[in-house]
Amino acid sequence: MDPLFDFSDKVVLITGGSRGLGFAMARAFAHRGAHLIIASRKLESCERAAVEIRALGQRALAVACHAGRWADIDALVAKSYAEFGQIDVLINNAGMSPVMPSSLETPEEVVDKVYALNFKGPFRLSALVGSRMMAGAGGCIVNVSSYGALRPQPEYAPYASAKAALNALTIAHAIEFAPKVRVNAILPGSFRTDIAKHWSADKESRTDAVLRRFGEPEEIVSTALYLASPASAFTTGALIRVDGGRP
């Protein structure tokens, strides 16, 4: 195995890790020797994902966790360190992006939920794990943000602004937890995950991405591996777009 991408005996925690981009990343790390902590709201989904990781010969911990609730996050961190004694890579992947007809018609409850999952949760989880990484052997944090944070649209304004806040947090934590912890963000465009099943049939044909298509979940994997590995040892506070060339 390429030593730059050898994660043998490393422990990787992924929120929203039971499906979509999160599970694609989980499989990729497991194939390279990592043990996984898979967190999402539904325990049964986490357990199914964990079974697949264990079939690859790696340890996997499934944890039911609402990644927007600090009490759940505190419990997730406690369970993770009790099981493994370490977290080497944290990937804040859980998120939600509801589309609303207008800002005026957007309920306060929706704004609160969007900010809790896309910003407050990663803030708390990174604070807990990043501080322990800094006090220990170090580590890497990867935030999954969005192209929408750079090119916001009215129909998903709360989501875009929450992800913009996550971008700012990425830079702030890169400074706070340096030099032992590197913190970077991936800004995906549209990917063909299970969420895409709810999109209109012609959405992909209308994309403004210069590659003229949506991404496949596996196409985000190389960026996640790069940011979590020694290959990016001099990279922190970076916001890397993986969006097919959106203008």
Residue 195 confidence (pLDDT)? 72
Q: Which of 81, 115, 156, 159 is catalytic?
A: 159
The domain locations on the chain are 3-242
> What is the torsional sign of CA 11, 16, 17, 21?
negative
Q: At what angle do helices 20-31 and 43-55 cross, to 10 degrees?
A: 30
Asked if 119 and 165 count as a contact pair (C-beta separation under 8 A), the reply is yes
Q: pLDDT value at position 206?
A: 86
Instruction: Please choose, from the candidates 124, 153, 165, the residue with its C-alpha nearest in 3D space to the C-alpha of residue 141.
Output: 124
CATH of domain 3-242: 3.40.50.720
Could you say which residues of the chain have pLDDT below 50? Answer: none
Looking at residue 196, its pLDDT comes to 65
Closest-CA residue to 132 (of 180, 197, 171): 180
Known catalytic residue: 115?
Answer: no
- Please report where in the chains the tokens 């989980």 appear, as a residue: 26
Single out the residue of 175, 191, 199 nearest to residue 224, CA to CA: 191
Question: pLDDT value at position 217?
Answer: 86
In this predicted structure, what is the pLDDT of residue 198?
66
Structure confidence by residue, pLDDT tens digits, 32-60: 999 999 999 999 999 999 999 999 999 99
| Greatest extent of the chain over all pairs of C-alpha atoms, in Å | 54
Contacts of 135 (CB under 8 A, 6+ apart): none
